[in-house]
Amino acid sequence: MKKYIFPVLTAFTLVTGCSSSGDESSQEEHGEHPEQSAPVLTYEIGSDDWSAITTYSDSPKVLEAYQFAVEHPEVLDYMPCYCGCYEEDGHTSNTNCFVDHVEGNTATLDTMGFG
């Protein structure tokens, strides 16, 4: 009987220690986080306030790419995107990877340009 106690206790410890309770606090303790949605980034055209970009990236190249995309969509409209975002997001050109849509003077930016 004694020779079965250690294997049974080991198996019981492994099963209970590896089981997931499924609650959010347990996930946070293990470094798992629920999937977060992408932030909504807006830019007022002509304002030169790029805090929507600089909040998420300190790369001057990323900022320059977004500035170019907003100021010259006619150039990027002719550059197809090959990253596969057409199937997922319906992007038809490189403009769509940086600018989601423009309403009046407000451009809603796409986060894909962050890389």
Along the 115 residues of the chain, how does pLDDT read in single tens digits? Answer: 556 555 544 554 444 444 444 444 444 455 555 566 767 899 999 998 999 999 999 999 999 999 999 999 999 888 887 777 766 667 778 888 889 889 999 999 988 888 7
Strands (E), the chain: 41-44, 99-103, 106-109
SS3 category, 98: helix
SS3 category, 30: coil
Give the pTM: 0.63
Q: What is the pLDDT of residue 110?
A: 86
Q: What is the pLDDT of residue 19?
A: 42
Q: Which two tokens stand for residue 30?
A: 């293990």
**Of 28, 6, 37, nearest to 20 (Cα)?**
28
DSSP-assigned beta bridge partners for residue 102: 107
DSSP-assigned beta bridge partners for residue 106: 44, 103
Would you tell me how many other CB atoms lie within 10 Å of the CB of residue 91? 20
CA 56 to chain centroid: 11
